[in-house]
A = this chain, B = another copy of it.
């Protein structure tokens, strides 16, 4: 069955640094807890993981923010930890505690026993959701697929959950780097296969979230995080349905390493809010598009202040192709959805203005 043509292609064009009529915008975690309709569907599904694995309901929550806001993209509702879960580590979410693994990897022996997951087998629920969302979107806006970076996935797999100190994984990194490289290499292969399966199923852009790359030193960032993201970028099917599939890399806290990130061959970089977007643009030049970079906390302020901060970022980027507006990290659960509406309208308005 042929997939419908794309009506709003601002996101894809901006990621490929082609001109657009205004600045496209989407929001990390736009399908999420700040929306009452999300909370209702989540309740219906059961646990967070039940919701991720339920094709119909995952599709439903993916589409919910598009019914409220003039967003320029959908992003698949899923979790970065689907891959380690499919590798048999036993993912679960303890209420109010974040993700946990029943069987964390603490030794070289644990790592050597690990196999790559087969997306056609135990990640089928993800590709099924991609296909269903594409059909339901009916070409309205593009669908973004995503994965966690090998480094970020490995932090959860070795620590057994979220971490503040990175005790076990960094202990391994500094004392037994070979074991960690083996894990990261397995993960790089798994992420490549996983993202290619999402592209095959209909994802029109992909993004790699390196949420914890910023806790590394410059050298260990290059060796243990960026190196494996580069391997993934090199292995992706960058053409599908007659279009280029743009790839975005996002390292939270990675503003110091933008030049190295731009050298991986990706199309775009996600920015958190700790760097001015005009400075980032000066540093990476025309090699990549930039996505970002409003502090998510601006959305706690009143709509007038929100508009002012949106205007500032658009004006800093200036009248060039290659800007996708976003927050510098996911939207917080306590945000008033009307505040997000004000932001999205402001981005489109100022995005038109700056192109005049």
Interface residues of A (CB under 8 A from B): 165-167, 170-171, 173-175, 214-220, 253, 255-256, 273-276, 279, 295-298, 300-302, 305, 309, 332, 334
Contact = CB atoms under 8 A, between A and B. Distances in A.
B216 A274 contact: yes
B174 A297 contact: yes
A228 B156 CA distance: 38
A297 B167 contact: yes
Contact of A171 (B174, B218, B255, B300): B300
Contacts of A216: 274
Contacts of A217: 273-274, 276, 295
Nearest to A306: B174
A165 B332 contact: yes
Nearest to A168: B300
SS of A interface (majority): helix
Contacts of A298: 170, 174
Nearest to A297: B170
Given A301-B171, A305-B174, A309-B174, A218 B275 contact: yes
**Of A170, A219, A274, A295, most B-chain CB atoms within 10 Å:** A274
Contacts of A275: 218, 256
19 contacts: A165-B296, A167-B332, A170-B295, A171-B297, A171-B301, A174-B295, A174-B298, A174-B301, A175-B300, A175-B301, A175-B305, A214-B274, A215-B274, A217-B276, A217-B295, A218-B276, A218-B279, A220-B295, A253-B274
Nearest to A254: B274
Given A165-B332, A174-B297, 15 more contacts: A165-B296, A166-B297, A167-B334, A170-B297, A171-B300, A171-B301, A174-B301, A174-B309, A175-B300, A175-B301, A214-B274, A220-B295, A255-B256, A256-B256, A256-B275
A301 B173 CA distance: 9
A275 B220 CA distance: 11
Contacts of A166: 297
A314 B257 CA distance: 23
A302 B173 CA distance: 11
Contacts of A295: 170, 174, 217, 220
Contacts of A276: 217-219
A298 B160 CA distance: 20
Contacts of A256: 255-256, 274-275
Contacts of A305: 174-175
A171 to B, nearest CB: 4
A215 B295 CA distance: 9
Sorted nearest first, the 4 A-B pairs with minimum C-beta distance are A170-B297, A171-B300, A174-B301, A175-B301
A332 B297 CA distance: 30
